[in-house]
Amino acid sequence: MSSNVQMDPGGMETGRPLPPPRLSRGAVAWLRDNLFSEWHNSLLTLITAAVIGLALFFGLRWIIAGADWAVISTLGGRMIIGQYNIEAACPGQNCFWRPQAILLMTTALLGMAWGVVGNGLTKRIAIAVAVVLSLFALLPYGLDTMGLDVRLLLVANLPALGLGWVIARYTPLRTTKRVSITVVVAFIVALVLLRGLPGVPGLQTVSVLYWGGLMLNLLLAVAGIAISLPIGIALALGRRSNLPVVKLLCVVFIEVFRGVPLITLLFMSQVLVPLAFPENFPQNSLFRAAVVITLFSSAYMAENIRGGLQSLHRGQAEAARALGLASWQTTLLISLPQAIRNVIPAIVGQFISLFKDTSLVYIIGMLDVVEISRAFIQGNTEYLGSAKELFVFLALVFWVFTYGMSYVSRHIERNLGVGER
């Protein structure tokens, strides 16, 4: 800014050129602007730095020297599949291959997504997931704890990814729509595989009571996410409809489900709901829990989507009507896509809290990843001292998933240009 010198009235009065402007680029300028701009700012920086330094010092010392991480490797696979593979669940057989087959299916689907969407974030996520999964094969367990078959099936995630990619590129399954249908079919196949088919050799039924671990959390979350979004949209539309009866029903549903803790609803689903069915009616506590979690989440989802619908200018709907679109076309093709785009962060936030809420199934006695860890500590008091480590690890596991979800949502938002047009 050399013109500064001439334009500055102070400089003109004294006739002396002012000193050159202070640095505005480079590391020193950055430090000055962001950390040491004023004396109280500098003080704040120093205090914060000291606190961080101390926290890092003691934190690292604890992680390296103080903490005993053996509890995690002792729990090991139980954190992932719960009691699915114990003798009572799967008498006389090894059922471990079934969750693993589902894992392979998932990576294949990721490969298909990569093949359909092309390069970019999808590719990076797909490759990262497959590589991390195959690296699990190198865990330093003895072969008696983690057999060669288990390790090979883990490594097989890499070819599964490639297979999915090839299918999505070179077979009739190469449109987004067909891949989506494949995902739904695969989810049903996965459920059948986990549950087993009576009469089919090698596929004996495993009671849902033995489903557990992270597998259970992910299963509930995926089903909940997939189903709560459409229900939420329907409820939001119902709440905004000008039909008084429909509106009333939706408002009552939303407010009742939002007003009560999920844990109370889950408990009631186990105590109250079975009474409404005949005594010999096939009962499935996991299914009831899944329904409750999904309905609970869809009440919140409805409010998010209602917010999105309210944020739309009424001109959008009026223009659509003026173009001759029927009201259902206006809603489906004009209002909803824009409304959903506007509230992507809120929707993904709800997905995240649904995933976190899956840890509440402990109340109905399901051993999800949190509950099985807690039960393990309670049953093996010699590990009481390293319970902290276990829960720090669990926090990290959950964090990876939830932060991943919000990262993807921000990416989608950027791609859709939210807030730019």
Partner 1 sequence: MEALIRALSYKGIPLWRHVQVVQWTTQIVSGVLVVVLVVWFFANIGNAIQDREIPSGFGFLDREYQTPIGHSFLSYDSSDSFLYAFVVAFVNTLLVSVVGVILATALGIAVGVARISGNWLVSKIALAYIEFFRNVPLLVQLFFWFYIVVELPVWQDSYSVADLVFLNNRYLAIPFLSPSGLVGALVWVLVSVGGIGAAIFAYRRLIDREVRTGSAAYPILSGFAITFLVGALAWGVLSVATGDAPFSITVPNPQEPFGRVEGGFVLPGALITLMVGLVMYTAAFIAEIVRAGLQSVSRGQRESARALGLSGMTALRHVTFPQALRVIVPPLISQYLNLTKNSSLAGAIGYSDLTNVAKTMTQTAPAVSIFLMVMIAYLVLSLTYSLIGNLYNRHIRF
Residues in contact with partner 1 by CB under 8 A are 34-35, 37, 41, 44-45, 48-49, 52, 243-246, 249, 256, 258-264, 267-268, 271-272, 275-277, 279, 352, 356-357, 359-360, 362-363, 370, 373-374, 377, 384-385, 387-388, 391-392, 394-395, 398-399, 402-403, 406
- In the block, residue with structure tokens 């990843």: 369
Calpha distance 307→233 (Å, rounded): 11
User: Which C-beta is closer to partner 1: that of 215 or that of 394?
Assistant: 394
User: Which C-beta is closer to partner 1: that of 211 or that of 351?
Assistant: 351
- List the one residue out of 184, 195, 250 whose CA is nearest residue 222: 184
User: Which C-beta is closer to partner 1: that of 23 or that of 271?
Assistant: 271
CB of 369 to partner 1, least distance (A): 9
CB of 275 to partner 1, least distance (A): 4
Calpha distance 365→413 (Å, rounded): 39
CB of 104 to partner 1, least distance (A): 28
Which string of DSSP letters, residue by residue, matches 19-55? PPPPP-SHHHHHHHHHT-SSHHHHHHHHHHHHHHHHH
User: Which C-beta is closer to partner 1: that of 32 or that of 123?
Assistant: 32
Dihedral angle sign, alpha carbons of residues 159, 165, 170, 173:
positive
- List the one residue out of 89, 75, 293 whose CA is nearest residue 208: 89
Calpha distance 131→128 (Å, rounded): 5
CB of 199 to partner 1, least distance (A): 33
User: Which C-beta is closer to partner 1: that of 203 or that of 332?
Assistant: 332
CB of 47 to partner 1, least distance (A): 9
Which residues, 6 or more positions from 235, have their beta carbon under 8 angstroms from its beta carbon?
A: 250, 253, 254, 298, 299, 301, 302
CB of 245 to partner 1, least distance (A): 4
CB of 114 to partner 1, least distance (A): 25
Which residues, 6 or more positions from 401, have their beta carbon under 8 angstroms from its beta carbon?
A: 355
User: Which C-beta is closer to partner 1: that of 64 or that of 275?
Assistant: 275
User: Which C-beta is closer to partner 1: that of 173 or that of 263?
Assistant: 263
In residues, how long is the chain? Answer: 421
